[in-house]
Amino acid sequence: MDCIHLTGISCYGYIGYLPEEKVLGQWFEVDLKLWLDLSQATENDTIEDTVDYRTVINLVQNLVKTSKFDLLERLAGAIADAILQQNDMVSQIQVIVIKPAAPIPDFNGKISIEITRTR
């Protein structure tokens, strides 16, 4: 199966367990892997035979911007579900949601959630 990688999708959103995260917001990053058959696209060179990256990136950015979830896990699931609903060609998706600056004292790392869903 072929795979499209979309990485480093930056989005500002209001997702988090703490009340201030829902008010102040923060940056998130999303990485995607979309598995689908690209054989027609490699032969025909037409966008109808693949996934329009712009549409997927827009969908992710809008979901992050408008969602009010407590958990990154919920956001990752919502992104996977929305992309699978919108793109019949995608047979499997991997979503990684990254919180680069979690409000945790004495922690300078990143937190990420990775989920994989199959149609």
Residues acting as catalytic residues: 99
| Interatomic CA distance for residues 47 and 69, integer angstroms | 33
Phi, psi torsion values for 45, nearest 5 degrees: 60, 40
Output the DSSP codes for 57-74: HHHHHHHHHH---S-HHH
